[in-house]
Structure 1
């Protein structure tokens, strides 16, 4: 008579699965539309770190946001540059938890937009950039073939006080694939001199150049070590800003 097979007293325990580490690119991919606002007071008050994307029309801002988030149509690229006149907010974070927000601001400097509309939006943007309490960083798009223009310099003057107080700042040189390596190096050197201590990154949506680096930087901005002081917002601008016009 054959004996029955031995049955172990207890099965070996398996270790609980370790959650996959969150990568900056994986985190960026969680971006989803949050809200849109035509006026500053329409934006919800938030204490979540917020990063604003700004730049001249046709600088590649929408393409940059869509590339970073790996979503083709998250940021709307208008067929008529300069006509999108809303601040669009996108939430970041998994499982319904928002741990950061991206703010897509209207492009500036497009000649076809009426002057009164330009002035109104310059006022809204300037007040947003100097007084938005949870603003953690600003990302400026720049086509390196043209460099920073007078319009960009005006915006830099608007945000300079907050940058000096600790607001993070990055210049992204878009469309870097259209430059030779020597031209890229020259554009980097010039932009670093103009960035006032901020970071500068080359970026190409086509070649995916700089995508990981920018995502990592934005992750670091919004997940700082505890105890670091946040920059204080300034008072809203009452006087009409200098026209961001060509």
Structure 2
């Protein structure tokens, strides 16, 4: 069902979204109506959402830990479950800590951690050009964003100094990518989703390099799935890191925390 530019009502938007199969049509309609600048913009937004574009891309923002993170076409939408990783990091970090956010996407994790703790020595990196653009907008002056593959673009001066290493790496097994909702598999970059045959390819690469970048006593935090947690722990432990798994049943989130032996000076 299409929506003519005028007149427009909340009921018409709900009807159009419900016809398109949007489960939370009423909630989405309220957000879209509030965001639309005029009837023509509203009609275009409803059309995009009905065509399967992620709601966050249509709105231009995603809610994350109380922040509005700017997102758009070609960038991974931060998930609410990743707030659990953020909470674990915030509990371990000190104000002014040296923080690196790998596979940063929109920069949501770094922006939210800075909002919670105040100024940090914050660096973020992503291989996707669109992600880098959005991360720079979302971090503003709170951190520096680098374009490149994992650790490769980071300043060498960070080696051995990183206190908190955030790595929300892709962990969907290649064979499962096709089972994801269309919003993800069609409209988000595959490189942000596909973790290789068992979903752990990128995690292995991070595990191999992390000990060289972490400060003594520094922490690496990686989101994974419940079924991958044991293998993820084993992988990190093989590189000399002390590991533990924390789980949130409420957010359906699993995070592996790996610590470099020693103490922060």
Q: TM-score range by the shorter chain?
A: 0.3 to 0.5
Which structure has the highest helix share of the two? Answer: 2
Q: Give the TM-score normalised by the residue count of structure 1.
A: 0.34
**Which structure: larger Rg?**
1
- Which one has more relative contact order, counting CA pairs under 8 Å at least 6 apart? 1
